[in-house]
Structure 1
Amino acid sequence: MNKRHPFGLPIWKPALYKKSRSVVRKANSSLHASPSSSPELFLNPGNIAWTLVFGWWLALVMFIISIVMIIIPTNGRAYALVLRELAAYLLWPFGRYIERHVEITPSDPRHPSASVDEESGLLQNQRADDTAQRNKPTLKQRISSVLRLGLAGWIYYVLFFVIAAPLLLLVSTICWLCVVTIPMAKLNYILLRHLYRHPLTLRFKSSPSGQSQMNATGKPIIILLCTYQAIGLQYYKYTYDGINIMFINLLPIVFFVIFDDHVLKKYLPDSIVTSPTAIFSLSLASVIPLSYFIGMGVSSVSAQSSMGVGAVINATFGSIIEIILYSVALMGGKSALVEGSLIGSILAGVLLLPGCSMISAGVKRKEQRFNAKSAGVTSTMLIMAIIGILTPTLFYQMLGSFELRCTGCPESSNGTGVIACSQCYYDQMNPTLDPVYQNSVKPLMWICAAILPSVYFIGLVFSLHTHVDMVWKSSTPKAPKQPHQSYYQRLLPAHILSHLTHHPATAKDVAPSQTIPVTTSGPASLALYSATQNLPHTTSSPPLPSHSPPPTTAQIQDSTAGSNTTLYNPHNPNFIPIVGPNNLPATPITFIHAKEPDEDEDEEEAAGHDSPNWSKTKSFTVLFGCTLLYSIIAEILIETVDLVMDSLVVDEKFLGLTLFALVPNITEFMNAISFALNGNIVLSMEIGSAYALQVCLLQIPAMVGFSLWYNWDKEEVARYTFSLVFPRWDVISVIFSVFLLTYTYQEGKANYFKGSILILSYCVLVAGFYYIPPSA
C-alpha cells in the first residue's frame, strides 16, 4: 500500500499500525539498564542540566519531608530513611539504581493470597497479572490495609499527596513537553507510582554489592529503575498509542487558545497573552495537531473498511479542516483570503511539497524512480482539474464587458497651463454588475463546480476497481496468488507484512544473553537478565521460541519447589524456573528487572496485529471531536486576522497564500519528507498530487456551493462570495506549476536537481504575488 498508493485512499500514517518501535524500546530500556560497579559519575551536559534545573530543589524538598517524618514515632524513621535516600537519588540519579525486596511464595494461582504486607504500602495486595484483575481487594481489605499503616504511614501519605506527588508530576510533565527528556519524564512517573504502592520496600543504591541477589531475609532483590542519561536527541520520534509526541504536546494549545479567547480576554484585555497577535499565532499552531489527529482518524477508519468506504471517508473528512476554515472566512467577508488560500494550496501541492520530497530523497540516494503509469493518471486528472477551475476565468476574460476608467484631473496644472486628464484605462466591470457574468459566466461556473467532483469519483472507480491491476502493477514478476488473502494483506506493504508475520526463532536468532520474561505475583512484570558467561550450562540449551505462550504462574511456582533448577528446561519450552536462594553462585549472575504494565503496552510486539492502533469507535470520536474543536479555532482565526493584518505589510490574499495554505498541511509535509528519506519517493510524490487534486476537485466546488447557499435570496457582495473567476496572475501561476509537475512526472525519476527546480519555481511565483500592486 505504501509503495503503490491508490488514488483516493488516505495516505497511511507512519505510526498507523501496532508495531514494536525502536525509539519506544530504547526509552524503556534506558530506565532498566544493568547497574554498573564502576565508580563513574556519568558527567555529561544533559545530566548536569537535570541537577541544576530539577535535581537540587527536588532533593531539598524530599530531605525536609524526611526530617518531618523522623520525629514521628512507630515506624517514622523507616519512612525518613526512604525519603533521605530518595533525596540523594533525585539529586543525581545517573549510575544509581532503585531496588525493591519482594517475596515470591508458592501458592495456587486460582486462590491468590489476600494477605497484606504492612511494609508494602497502601494497595500492595493488588497483583499485576490477569488473576489480580479478577481478584481486586475488597473495600474491607483496603480499609484494613490503611489501618495497618499506623500514624507514620498516614502522615507519610498526607505529605506524599500534598507535596511530593504534585512536584514529581510537575517535573514529569515538563520533561515530557521538552521531548528530549522523555526518560526522565518516565522515571519520575514510575518512581511516583512505586512511592505510592510500596515505599518501605524501596532502597536507593549507588552500585551493586556483587555477591548476592538476596538480602538478609531471603527475599530476592528487584531492580526497578537504573538510568545513565537524562537527554536523548532521538526521542522526537517517540510515539504513544501511535501518535507522535510532538503532536501530543501541541494538543493542549488548542484548549488554551479557546480558554484564552473566551475567558482570559474578558478579564485580562491588556495582557500579552490575550493580545490579537498572540491569539492568532497560537490558533495557527493549534491547527497542526488537529489536522494530524483528523488525518490519523481518517486513515484508521479507512484501513478497517473497504476501499470504496475508505475513499468516501477520505473525500469527506480529508478536506474538512480547509472547508470549515474557508466557510467561516466567507461568512466574515474574507473572500480574498479564501482565494489566496486555495491558490496557495495548489502551488504548495504541485511545487513545494514534491520539491521538498525530492531534495530529502537526494540526501541518501542519488536518484529514485516511481511508477510512471500511476503518475500519468494523476497528471491527467490534474490537467482536467485545471481546465475545470480555470474555464470560467478564461471565458470571462475573453467575453466579459469592459469599461473605461479614468483617474481624474490632477489638483495642479502643468507648466504650460494645460490640464492633463488623460490617465484612463480599460478594465473589466465588477462581476456582480456585469450582465455577461450574471447570465453566462455564473451558469458555466456552476456546471464546472458540478463536474469537478464527478471527475474525482470517476478516478476512484478507475484506479480502485476497473483498472486497478493495469495502473498499480509493478514491473517485478507476479508472485503466486495466495488463497484467502485478507483486506489488510492486499493493502499492506511487504515491510509491514514481514513484521506482522510470526517467525519461529532459531538458535542463531536469539542471543545467549537475551532477556527471558518471567511472570510473578508481584505488582510488575519481571524480566530475568542472565549473564551466560557465568552459567556455561545455559549456552547449550535451546532458545525460547518467540511464538511460545508465556509461562503461567503455576509453572513458575512449581519451579521453586525443586532443588536443582536450571535456567531453561529443554523438555518443556514453556517452563522457566526461578533460581532459588540455595542455587545462587558466589559471583553476580543476574539482575531481576521490573517493568510497569504501561511500559509493556508501549512496547507491544507487532506479531499477531493486523489492525490499526485505533478502533472505529475511537477514530470516529477523534474525527468529530477534532472537527468541532477546529470550527471554534477557525472562528477565532478569522476574528483576529484583521487586527493582525493592521500591523503587517502584507495584504489579505498573500496571508492566505502562505500561512493559511501551508500551516494546515505541515503534517503532510512531514509525512512526505519522512517517506522520501526512507526511500519511498512514490508515496511522497502522491501526497502532494493527492492534496492538489482534493483542492481542485473537492474544496473549490465546496466553496462555490457554500457561496451559492450563503448568498441565496441575498444581494450578492463580492467579499462574501467565492467565484471561479481568478486574476490573470493566478491563472498563469497555476498553469505553469501544473505544466512543470507533469513534465517532471514523464521520466519517472526523482533527484535533488528536479526538487530544487520545483522549489525555486514556487519561490518565483509567490514573489510575484507579493509584489502585485494594491490597485490591481
Structure 2
Amino acid sequence: MNQRLFFSLIAASLVLAAFAHYFTDHAIFQFVTAALAVVVLAAWLGKSTESVAHYAGDRIGGFLNATFGNAAELIISFFLVRDGLFEMVKASITGAIIGNMLLVLGLSVLLGGLKYKEQKFNAKLAGHNASLMILAIAALFIPAVFLRELPVVKIESLSIVIAILLIIAYVLWLIFSMVTHSDFLSDIDPQESEPLWSKGISILMLALSTLFVAIVSEWLVHGVEYISHTFGWSDLFVGAFVIAIIGNAAEHSAAVLLAVKGRIGGAVEIAIGSSLQIALFVAPTLVLVSLLIGKPMDFVFTPFELAAIAASILITISITRDGATNWFEGVLLLTVYIILGTAFFFV
C-alpha cells in the first residue's frame, strides 16, 4: 500500500474514533470505531517493529515491541490500581500472559507454518525462556500457597520481597541475554527484508504507533466494559480475555507478520518475551507502585488464574523447547487458549 494512503487511513481512523469517544454517547459506535482504529494502528506498529528489527535484529526488535506494548499495559493497570480494582488488574495480567503465550504465539506458529513446513529459532533461547517461565509460575504460586498460613500484613511483605526479586532477576536476564551472552542467543539464519524507513525514523514510528495504540486501547476498553455489563460477562472473563486481547491487538499483529515472513525468532521474542516481561517486571512493578500510592496490592492470584497460567506455561515449554515449530503446534496452543477462554466465560 502507498505510504501516503496508509497514513491517510491511520489519520482518518483516529479522527473517527476520537469523534465517537468525545462527541457521542453511543457505546456501540464508540466500540466499533475504536476497534477499527486499533486494527489500522496494529498494521502501523507491525511495520515499525519489522523495520526496527532489520537494524537491531529480531531479538532486540521483539524486545522493543514487547516493551512499548507493555508500557501501555502498565499505564492502564496503574490507573486500575489507583482506583483499587486489584482483581481486574490481576485478571488482565493473567490474560496478557496467557494471551501472548497461547493466542499470539499460536497464531504466529500456525500462519507461519502454513507457509513454511518448519521454522527454527535458537534452541538455547527456548531453554532459557522455559527456565524463566518456571520462575514466574513459582513466584505466583508461593503467595497463594501461604495465604492460609500467614496474616494479611505478612502476605503483603512476602509480595514485596517476591516483586523485588523478580525485577532483579529480569534485569539480570536482560544483561545476560543482550550483553554478556548475546552471541549465544542470536537469531538463527534471520530472513532479510528491506526496511521501510531509516533507523531513526523506524524507532520514531515505533514510539508514535505505540503511543496511539495506548490511547485508542483505553477508549476501546471503556466500550468493552459497557458491552460486557450489557451481556452479563464476568469481570474475570473481561479482564483475562476481552481487555487482554484488545489491549495487545497491535502487538499480536507484529508477531504474526514476522512469522509469516519466516522470522519466527522475532515472533517468539514478542510473544514469550512479552509474557515474561509482564510476569517478571510489570506485575512486580505494580505491586511496588501500589505501596507508593497507599493502596498495597498483594501478589496472590486466584486458583483459576494460577491454573490458566500454569497450563499455558506447560504447553508453551513443551512446544518451543526444541527450537522448531510447525503449523500443528500452533493448533495445539490455540486449542488450549479456547478451552481456557470457555472455562473463564462460565466462571
TM-score by length of 2: 0.83
Deviation at 1:284, TM superposition (A): 4.0
Deviation at 1:391, TM superposition (A): 2.5
Partners of 1:442 and 1:335 in 2: CA distance: 13
Change (3 A) 1:453 1:302: farther
User: Match for residue 671 of structure 1?
Assistant: 254
User: Match for residue 163 of structure 2?
Assistant: 449
Within a 5 Å distance, the mapping from 1:467-486 to structure 2 comes to: 467-472=181-186
Higher RCO (CA < 8 A, seq sep 6+) = 2
User: Match for residue 3 of structure 2?
Assistant: 240
1:495 aligns with 2:79: no
Query: What's the CA shift string for 1:12-52, capped at 9, x where partnerless?
Result: xxxxxxxxxxxxxxxxxxxxxxxxxxxxxxxxxxxxxxxxx
1:259 aligns with 2:31: no
Deviation at 1:674, TM superposition (A): 3.0
Deviation at 1:763, TM superposition (A): 1.2
User: Match for residue 325 of structure 1?
Assistant: 76
Change (3 A) 1:697 1:252: farther
Residue type at the aligned position of 1:437: V
Query: What's the CA shift string for 1:583-628, capped at 9, x where partnerless?
Result: xxxxxxxxxxxxxxxxxxxxxxx8xx99337176xx18x736963x
User: Match for residue 311 of structure 2?
Assistant: 736
Select the residue among 434, 437, 449 that pairs with 2:152.
437
| Aligned residues between the structures | 346
Residue type at the aligned position of 2:14: V
Partners of 1:642 and 1:364 in 2: CA distance: 37
Query: What's the CA shift string for 1:690-725, capped at 9, x where partnerless?
Result: 111121122212322332233x1xxx5xxxx64321
Residue 399 of structure 1: SS of its match in structure 2? Answer: coil
Deviation at 1:758, TM superposition (A): 1.4
Change (3 A) 1:302 1:443: farther
Residue 199 of structure 2: SS of its match in structure 1? Answer: coil
- Residue identity over aligned pairs, in percent, reads 25
Within a 5 Å distance, the mapping from 1:618-637 to structure 2 comes to: 619=204, 623=207, 627=211, 633=216, 636-637=219-220
| Contact residue 14 and residue 37 of structure 2 kept, 8 A | yes
Change (3 A) 1:350 1:677: same
Partners of 1:321 and 1:289 in 2: CA distance: 17
User: Match for residue 119 of structure 1?
Assistant: none
Deviation at 1:288, TM superposition (A): 4.4
Deviation at 1:254, TM superposition (A): 2.8
User: Match for residue 328 of structure 2?
Assistant: 753
User: Match for residue 351 of structure 1?
Assistant: 102
Higher helix share: 2
| Contact residue 121 and residue 323 of structure 2 kept, 8 A | yes
Within a 5 Å distance, the mapping from 1:346-385 to structure 2 comes to: 346-385=97-136
- Structure 2: stretches of 5+ with no match in the other structure: none
User: Match for residue 4 of structure 1?
Assistant: none
Change (3 A) 1:610 1:757: closer
Larger gyration radius, structure 1 or structure 2? 1
Partners of 2:26 and 2:346 in 1: CA distance: 29
Within a 5 Å distance, the mapping from 1:26-65 to structure 2 comes to: none
Change (3 A) 1:703 1:286: farther
Change (3 A) 1:762 1:258: same
Residue 363 of structure 1: SS of its match in structure 2? Answer: helix
Residue 301 of structure 2: SS of its match in structure 1? Answer: coil
User: Match for residue 279 of structure 2?
Assistant: 696
Residue type at the aligned position of 1:336: E
Within a 5 Å distance, the mapping from 1:605-620 to structure 2 comes to: 611-612=198-199, 614=201, 619=204
Residue type at the aligned position of 2:157: P
| Contact residue 339 and residue 722 of structure 1 kept, 8 A | no
Partners of 1:690 and 1:377 in 2: CA distance: 11
Deviation at 1:382, TM superposition (A): 1.7
Deviation at 1:289, TM superposition (A): 4.6
TM-score by length of 1: 0.40
- Structure 1: stretches of 5+ with no match in the other structure: 1-237, 266-273, 401-435, 477-492, 500-605
Residue type at the aligned position of 1:495: E
Query: What's the CA shift string for 1:313-360, capped at 9, x where partnerless?
Result: 667634222122222333455433322221111111112222222222
Within a 5 Å distance, the mapping from 1:199-238 to structure 2 comes to: 238=1
Higher strand share: 1
Change (3 A) 1:751 1:722: same
Within a 5 Å distance, the mapping from 1:358-757 to structure 2 comes to: 358-396=109-147, 398-400=148-150, 436-438=151-153, 440-472=154-186, 493=190, 495-496=192-193, 611-612=198-199, 614=201, 619=204, 623=207, 627=211, 633=216, 636-637=219-220, 640-710=223-293, 712=294, 722-757=297-332
Change (3 A) 1:299 1:458: farther
RMSD of aligned Cα (Å):
3.6
Query: What's the CA shift string for 1:259-292, capped at 9, x where partnerless?
Result: 3333x33xxxxxxxx3122223433443445566
Partners of 1:330 and 1:382 in 2: CA distance: 25
Change (3 A) 1:646 1:706: same
Residue type at the aligned position of 1:446: I
| Contact residue 675 and residue 681 of structure 1 kept, 8 A | yes
Change (3 A) 1:337 1:248: farther
Partners of 2:261 and 2:140 in 1: CA distance: 35
Change (3 A) 1:736 1:249: same
Residue 379 of structure 1: SS of its match in structure 2? Answer: helix
| Contact residue 45 and residue 250 of structure 2 kept, 8 A | no
User: Match for residue 201 of structure 1?
Assistant: none
